[in-house]
Amino acid sequence: MPNNNFPEILDFFNWAWVVTTGLVAMLYWVVFVHESRLDRMLKKFPGYKDYPVVGHTYMFFNPEDTLTVIDGWLKKYGKRCRVYFGSSLKMLVLSSPADFEKVATAPELINKSIFYDQMRDWLGDGLLISGVPAPIFDDNSKVLVNVLKKLEGKECEIQGIINRCTLDVICETAMGKKINSLLDENNPFLRATLRESELIWMRTTKPWLQSPIIWNYLSKFGKE
C-alpha cells in the first residue's frame, strides 16, 4: 500500500535542503566574502596574522599575557596595529599620545565600546557613565597614597591597586556606599567584580560566546 505521506516528507526535505544551503551560503559570504567598512579601514594598518571567525583570539590564552602580546605587536608594527577578538569585536590599538588626543577630543567618539555592553546587565548604565564629585576623588586619592607609602621600596602589582581605588571611587559616587576595597582585599563586591572581569575576558576571547543568545541562554557563565 503506497505511503500517502511521502509527498509531504519529500517536500519537507526539499525545504530543509534549501534552508541549509542558504545558511551555509550566508555563512560563507559573511566569513570569506563580505567586508564591512570597518574591515576595509583596519586592513590599512599592520597586524599579526588573523584567521576567519577567531581573529587573533588564538594568541590570547591567558589574560595576564594580553598586554605583553599587544605591546610586542606595537613594538613590531609601530604605534598602531589592528587586533581582532573574533569576527564581531575588531579594534585599532594606539600607543601614540597624539593619536589618543585626537580620539579623546573627537565629539563623535562618545559611545562606549562593546566591553561596556557586556557589563550593562550587571552594572547598568548609570554606574558606567556617572561623573565623580571632587571630594570623593580627593578622599580616595589620599587612601591610595597611604597604601602606596606602605609599599615604598617594595615590588608590587600597581594595576590591581589602581583598579581597587577606581572601584572605590565609582561605588561611592554612583551608589553612595564606601566599600574600601583598597583596605580590604577580601571585600565581597571586589571579589564579584574580579569574577565579572574574568567572565568578560572569557567572552571576549571566545568568539562563540559573543553571541547574546549563546551567552545568556546556553552558557552557564552567562547565567552566572
Same domain, 94 and 174: no
Same domain, 76 and 140: no
Q: Looking at this protein, which amino acid is placed at residue 70? A: I
Same domain, 118 and 157: yes
Same domain, 213 and 118: yes
CA atoms within 13 A on the CB side of 147: 20
* pLDDT score at 152: 86
- Name the more confident of 73 and 224: 73
Is residue 13, in this structure, part of any structural domain at all? Answer: no
Q: What is the pTM of this model?
A: 0.52
Same domain, 162 and 80: no
Residues 6+ apart with CB under 8 A from 39: 90
Same domain, 46 and 85: yes
Q: Which of 70, 92, 110 represents a domain boundary (last residue)?
A: 110
Q: Which of 75, 92, 110 represents a domain boundary (last residue)?
A: 110
Domain count, the chain: 2
Is residue 72, in this structure, part of any structural domain at all? Answer: yes
Residues 6+ apart with CB under 8 A from 133: 173
> Read out DSSP for 14-63?
HHHHHHHHHHHHHHHIIIII---HHHHHHTTS-----BTTTBTGGG-S-G
Q: Which of 94, 110, 126 represents a domain boundary (last residue)?
A: 110
Same domain, 120 and 66: no
Is residue 178, in this structure, part of any structural domain at all? Answer: yes
Q: What are phi and psi of 91, to 5 degrees?
A: -150, 165
Q: How many CB atoms lie within 10 A of CB 207?
A: 18
pLDDT digits (tens, 9 = 90+) for 54-93: 888 888 877 777 888 889 999 999 999 999 887 778 888 9
Is residue 28, in this structure, part of any structural domain at all? Answer: no
- 1 pLDDT above the threshold of 50: no
**Best-predicted range by mean pLDDT among 16-25, 187-196, 212-221?**
187-196
> What range does the domain containing 46 cover?
36-110
Is residue 6 within 8 A of residue 38, CB to CB? The reply is: no
Is residue 2, in this structure, part of any structural domain at all? Answer: no
Is residue 85, in this structure, part of any structural domain at all? Answer: yes
Torsion sign over Cα 159, 71, 44, 55? negative
Is residue 172 within 8 A of residue 178, CB to CB? The reply is: yes
Same domain, 97 and 117: no
Same domain, 56 and 131: no
DSSP state for residue 218 in the 8-state scheme: I
Is residue 220, in this structure, part of any structural domain at all? Answer: yes
Same domain, 57 and 159: no
pLDDT digits (tens, 9 = 90+) for 20-63: 887 777 766 665 555 677 788 888 999 999 887 788 888 887 77
Same domain, 218 and 132: yes
Is residue 118, in this structure, part of any structural domain at all? Answer: yes
Same domain, 47 and 152: no
For residue 63, give the nearest of 160, 138, 139, 133 by alpha carbon: 160
Provide the grid cell at 81.
596595529
Provide the grid cell at 172.
561611592
Q: What are the beta bridge partners of residue 156?
A: none
